[in-house]
Amino acid sequence: MTNSNRIALITGVSVGGTGLATAVALSKAGWTVYAGARRPETLSDLEGLHLLKLDVTDEASIQTAIQTIRAHGHSVDVLVNNAAYGEMGTVEEVPIARIRQQFETNVFGLVRMCQLVLPMMRQNGWGRIINVSSMGGEFTTPFAGFYHATKYAVESLSDALRIEVEQFGVDVVVVQPGGINTPLAQQTVDAIPSEENSPYAAQLSAFRQFSQQMSSMFDQIAVLPERVAEVIVSAIQADKPLTRYKVLVQDMSSVNFTRNAADRERDNGLRQQFGLIAP
């Protein structure tokens, strides 16, 4: 089949983000692209893209999006599970409703999308699922425990799914970006809580200062969403894709340390890096 005969569905498409960059790149490569967004009205005038209202935490929204694609006479050949965000805060203090929302978006929404497109892929005898995870799916930092937990879940589920569906000609690929220079990255920093009455107030303040310093350097240290999109498109179009693609930031030293150090050594390194109070 030519690219123009292949149908791709991308979740989490928003202005300035990886989803939009991927949608545009795939469309330019000749694919028919359905771009799923919670607010498609913000993505007007994008030539060549089929915009869908799609909230991966809403079953009715997901069903309607799939039905719309089927009504156009299409089935989904490629699913890019890109919808995600980062919940910041301490394990003790983040409200349980926000924790559930984090998992609904980053994990359960991803799983539900897979469940609904796989029958089409099995029928066609070919398919590709791209799960956008994170380097944070291999290590954990304080005050982002729930975000990391969702990415660990994505990694594990992808490993299981890959083996289950390979018999049907379906590939499952994980893409692990480092920091991405998008509006969402700054919004995540801005969402770090600042409760003065919190027993963690001093640590949260230090973490916020560190995060703000890093965000001010994003132009130098983070990857552009277009670079992540380039990797995703490469994984989609490869004859035999890798199981994982890492999209590296410029300085990998702290990432590698956090991933590979012994627990106590890593804890001490993170305290020093974030300026946290030692016990």
Query: What amino acid positions are annotated as catalytic residues?
Result: 14, 133, 147, 151
Q: Are 204 and 162 in contact (CB under 8 A)?
A: no
As a dihedral over the C-alpha atoms of residue 75, residue 233, residue 157, residue 82, rounded to 10 degrees, the angle is -80
In contact, 137 and 96? CB cutoff 8 Å: no
Q: Which two tokens stand for residue 147?
A: 């975000």
The number of angstroms, rounded, from the C-alpha of 250 to the middle of its chain's C-alpha atoms is 20
Whether 82 and 39 have beta carbons less than 8 Å apart is answered as no
Report residue 230 as tokens. Answer: 């380039």
